[in-house]
Amino acid sequence: MKRKWSLLASLTTLVVFLTGCEPLLVLDPKGPQAARQASDIMLSIGIMSVIVIVVFAILIYMLWKYRASKQSDDYEPPHIEGNIWVEIICVGVPVLIVAYLSFVSIKSNYIVESTPVGYEDQEPLVIYASSSDWKWHFSYPEQGIETVNYVYIPADRPVEFKLYSYGPITSFWIPQLGGQKYAMSDMVTTLHLAADYPGEFMGRNANFSGKGTAENTFIATAMSQEDFDEWVEEVHDTAEPITEDEFEELLEPGHLGRMTFTGTHLEFSPAPEHNHGSETEQDSTKLHEETDHSGH
């Protein structure tokens, strides 16, 4: 009886704690890229759930049907040959599942690596997001602004993050807007995101890069285009310009709060020249290939 009440109390406590938990951020998308990835996650969970239910049902049936029975000591079970259909099902079904998930994954990869669906006709906002131990630096070359540990973006507009690192490899991740992508010291990687709704979204470094990784976070705030323009004007009216000496101090290991500057460090410390995945690089590569084929 005590064991029964103890088990009931444990289950009740677990239910109480779980009802107070916030939803998983990856399953609460606020942008088209994250929505596509959340859909793929739910699809995978659904397929795996069906597999688990079927396997456990077969296991229970087999345990019941072929349970031990009272037979004589000299009883010999009959010889049973393999069933070709059972073998086909056991091999074919997993192959079909893997093939289907592979097709979905490849298709989704092309979708999330391009301009967000529904935003193809808009000019993206370009932001250079660089990491250092253990901070995030956001440079707005068009607006002439730089922020530390926070980023403002307009909602309903595509954003093109140019990622690189001033230290070890990090991983830029805003779970409610899209998947993570690596930031490296010798190249720039491009991440396409968009926020369908205004709001604040948690971002972080999803790659272990030293003892300060746990606090290597930032907040991404999506707002209307009008509010974003007002913020840009306010920064130019109130913030101090960033200098090369000050930027070198910011690169020193440590944690900082939010900081805002006019100008960007790209003027004296530009991003790596190798730009992986950008449309400009792809266009130049295509042009180079066409030139080679033409014989010139």
pLDDT for position 281: 42
pLDDT for position 66: 79
pLDDT for position 201: 96
Q: Which two tokens stand for residue 50?
A: 């069906």
Q: State the chain's maximal CA–CA distance in angstroms.
A: 97
pLDDT for position 7: 58
Q: What is the pLDDT along the chain (296 residues), one digit of tens a residue?
A: 556 556 566 656 554 444 444 568 888 999 999 999 999 999 999 999 999 999 999 999 989 887 877 778 788 878 878 888 888 988 999 999 999 999 999 999 999 999 999 999 999 999 999 999 999 999 999 999 999 999 999 999 999 999 999 989 999 999 999 999 999 998 999 999 999 999 999 999 999 988 988 999 999 999 999 999 999 999 999 999 999 999 999 999 999 999 999 999 999 999 998 777 555 444 433 433 443 443 43
State the pTM of this model.
0.79
pLDDT for position 288: 38
- Tally DSSP H helices, then E strands, for the chain: 6, 13
pLDDT for position 102: 95
Which element (helix H / strand E) includes 182? strand 181-183
Alpha-carbon gap, residue 54 to 45, rounded angstroms: 14
Q: Which two tokens stand for residue 194?
A: 């968009």
Answer yes or no: are the C-beta atoms of 142 and 126 closer than 8 Å.
yes
pLDDT for position 67: 81
pLDDT for position 286: 40
